[in-house]
Amino acid sequence: MKISKRGIAAAVAGAVVASMFAVGTPAANASSNTITIWADTGAKAVVQSLLMKWGSDNGITINLVGKDFGKVRDILKTAVNNGNGPDVLAAAPHDWAGNLVNSGVLKPVTLSPAVKNGVAASSLAAFTINSNGSNKLYGAPGWVENTGFFRNIKLAKTAPATWASIKNGELGVAYGNPYMLYAIQTGFGAPVFTSTNGVWNSTLGMGGANGAAFAQFLATKGTAYLSKNGDNLVCNFLTGKIKYFVGGPWDISKIQNGTTGCTKGFKYGKDYVVEAFPNGPKGKSTPFIGVRGYFETKQVDADANGVAVTKLLNFVAGPVAGAYYLNKYSVRPANTAAAKNTSKFPYMAGFAKAGVGAMPMPNIPAMDKVWGDWGTIEGNIESGHSPASDWQVTIDKIRGLIG
C-alpha cells in the first residue's frame, strides 16, 4: 500500500475549499479547536501526515492516538460513555457502523452536498444505517478495498477458469480466514447473509446445500490446496512456490519491493497481475467490498468541537484527501474525482474487476456474531480436524447466537 504523492490540480483543491464553506454549523456552542482522533496502529501510519497537515493548515490541534485494531472498538464504547473517548475514530472499517450505532456512541455525520455528491454511492451506502426508522450516514468514507486474484504470469500464462482447475500447491489463501476465503465461498453460492435489493438482512445464507458443498471443497482440498497455517504467502509468491494467491492492495508494496525473507520484488504486468477470481460451481466468485472511513462520536458534544470535526470529515471524504490515499498508499479513493486517476496504477483495475458484483461487507450488528465461529470451522475443516458435516453444525450455532 505505498507509492508516491504529489500534485493535486488547483481546480480540485478549489472545489474542496468551496465545499468546506458550504458545511452547516452543527452546534451553536461548537468552538473548541482541538480534535482527538483514534486510529488502529496500522491505520495511524496511513492517515497521520494527512491529518496533521490539515490541522496545521486550519489552525486546529490534532491529537492522534494509536490503538490495537482488535480492541479499539470495545475500548471506544467504554471511553465515550465515560466522557474520555476520541472525537473521531479514523480509518475504521465500515462494517463496525452497525455495532457502534447500536451501542449509542456515534453521531450521524454531516457532509456538504458537494462532498456527498462526490463520493461513490456504494461507499455512502456502506456507512448508512437504518436508525429509528430512517437511514442516516454514520461515517465519512475514505477509501475502498477488496481482495483480488494475484497471478504469476511467467508461471501461469493464462488465468484459471475455475477453482477446481487449480492444482494442489499452486494457490495460497490465508489459513482459516473467512475474509480471504470469501471469494471461494461465494462461488459456491453461499453468501454470509441473504440480501434483498442489495441490502443485507440477518438471515444466514451460508448453510444448506451450497454451504455444505463449500465445506466439502475445503475438506477435500485441505491445506495442500489452500495453504498451511503460518505460510508466508507473499514470499511464496515471489519465490515461485505458488502461482496464485488471494491478496489485497495492502500486499502490493511487499510484492513490488520485496518483503522479509524475499527481497526481490515483482513488476506489475511483467511478473504478475491482479485479476478477477476464478468461477465456482455456482458461477462468479466475489469478495467482500470494504470501505475505510471516519466515525464521529458523541464525545464531540462534550468537547464542543463540532464545527472543527465537521470540517475535518468533509475534508477526509473530499478529492484532496482522496488523492492522498491514492498516491501515497495506493488504495482506491471513495471520492469519485480522485478515483479517476487510478489508471496510473494498473493493479487497481484488477481489484476493480475482482470486485464487480460484490457487496459491501455487512454493517449490521449480526455480523459480529459470525466471525469467530466462521473462521474456526473453516480452519478446522481445512486442516482435517473437523469433518465437513460440522459446517452446518456451526451455522446452526451462529444462527442461535444471532437470535
| Cα–Cα distance measured from residue 169 to residue 61, given in angstroms and rounded to the nearest whole number | 52
Q: Is the dihedral of CA 376, 377, 379, 385 positive or negative?
A: positive
Q: In terms of pLDDT, which residue wins out, 381 or 201? A: 381
User: 198 and 282: one domain?
Assistant: yes
| Cα–Cα distance measured from residue 336 to residue 176, given in angstroms and rounded to the nearest whole number | 34
| Cα–Cα distance measured from residue 101 to residue 274, given in angstroms and rounded to the nearest whole number | 36
What is the pLDDT, as a whole number, of residue 28? 34
Q: What are phi and psi of 400, to 5 degrees?
A: -70, -35
User: 320 and 283: one domain?
Assistant: no
| 3-class SS of residue 382 | helix
Which residues partner with 193 through β-bridges?
A: 204
| Cα–Cα distance measured from residue 256 to residue 203, given in angstroms and rounded to the nearest whole number | 41
| Cα–Cα distance measured from residue 203 to residue 207, given in angstroms and rounded to the nearest whole number | 10
Q: What is the pTM of this model?
A: 0.83
- Supply the CATH number for residue 282's domain: 3.40.190.10
| Cα–Cα distance measured from residue 14 to residue 242, given in angstroms and rounded to the nearest whole number | 48
Band (pLDDT 50/70/90 cuts) for residue 328 is confident
Residue 96 near residue 349 (C-beta atoms within 8 A):
no
Domain total in the chain: 2
What is the pLDDT, as a whole number, of residue 130? 81
Band (pLDDT 50/70/90 cuts) for residue 17 is very low
User: 33 and 126: one domain?
Assistant: yes
- The amino acid occupying position 337 is A
Count CA atoms within 13 Å of residue 256 on its CB side: 18
For 20-64, write each residue's pLDDT tens digit.
Answer: 333 333 333 335 789 999 999 989 988 999 999 999 999 999 999
For 206-245, write each residue's pLDDT tens digit.
Answer: 999 999 999 999 999 999 999 999 999 999 999 999 999 9
Tell me, yes or no, whether 363 lies in a domain: no
User: 221 and 336: one domain?
Assistant: no
Band (pLDDT 50/70/90 cuts) for residue 3 is very low
Task: Provide the pairing of β-strand 148-152 with 272-275.
Answer: antiparallel
For 171-208, write each residue's pLDDT tens digit.
Answer: 999 999 999 999 999 999 999 999 988 889 999 999 99
User: 313 and 381: one domain?
Assistant: no
User: 14 and 36: one domain?
Assistant: yes
Mean pLDDT computed over 126-149: 91
What radius of gyration, in Å, describes the C-alpha atoms of the chain? Answer: 22
Tell me, yes or no, whether 92 lies in a domain: yes
Mean pLDDT computed over 296-319: 97
Distances in Å between the alpha carbon of 398 and those of 43, 214, 394?
Answer: 30, 17, 6
| 59: containing domain | 10-145+290-353
End-to-end Cα spacing for the chain = 39
What the block records as the C-alpha cell of 203 is 438471515
What the block records as the C-alpha cell of 73 is 472498538
* Beta-carbon count within 10 A of 313 CB: 23
